[in-house]
Amino acid sequence: MHIVITGVTRGLGRALAEWYIAQGHTVSGCGRSGMEIFELRSVHPEPHNFDAVDVTEVVKVGMWAERILGSSGAPDFLINNAALMHKPAPLWQVPAPEFAKLIDVNIKGVANVIRAFVPAMVEAKRGVIVNLSSGWGRSTSPEVAPYCASKWAIEGLTKALAQELPEGMAAVPLNPGVINTDMLQKCFGTDADNYPKAEEWAQRAAPFILTLGPKDNGQSLSVPGTPLE
């Protein structure tokens, strides 16, 4: 299968990419770190594709998608993983530029990638769009209001998209659960060590994602076997 993943240089995106490649799938991915993209290219040459792309840059996302679609065709799975977390603080203390950047990546970035890839998937009348949500896309906690807002938006955006897709396709908002990543450490500090690491999580999450299809269209799902809080 051809699987496209954003935010592929670290955390959940990197763990998913490594698992899918190990299982013989073709992965196309993007991330903002040029150094880590170079490493991925060195370790995983063609037919895999890795590019330094910021999902907030509409033109560059479009150019990246055009190249990937031209070389590998429409993806079977499009996984929107790229996201930011702000420094935890009461909403009124979160600087406006930090709030804006989070919204640009977590919401607008997802829309940019969908705009670039989904027309080819619709034309092929197949494929699954998985937009990574969060427990904070279905509940709330203090000091993470901007992140909650972005992930609640992902839930609504994905469910509306699901109603727009042709029969045979699916869009799913997926709560990955609580995983020990750089993002979680930013929120939980040393308590993040009590949760599974991304590589362990991917052993459950990656095959679960491959089971998603039209039967799951528009459903808010969570990765089985992963702590949800």
Residue whose C-alpha is closest to residue 126's, from 81, 63, 171, 69: 171
**Distance in angstroms (rounded) separating the CA atoms of residues 223 and 216:** 13
Q: Residue 76, Cβ neighbours under 10 Å: how many? A: 17
CA distances from 106 to 56, 58, 138 (A): 9, 14, 15
CB-based contact 10:17 (threshold 8 Å): no
Q: Determine which helix (DSSP H) or strand (DSSP E) holds 128, and give its type and residue range.
A: strand 127-132
Catalytic machinery residues: 147
Provide the pairing of β-strand 127-132 with 77-80.
parallel
Contact 19, 209 (CB under 8 A): no
CB-count exposure of residue 176 (10 Å: 0-12, 13-18, 19+): buried
Q: At residue 76, what is the residue type? A: D
Say how many C-beta atoms besides its own lie within 10 A of residue 46's C-beta. Answer: 9
Q: How many residues does the chain have?
A: 229
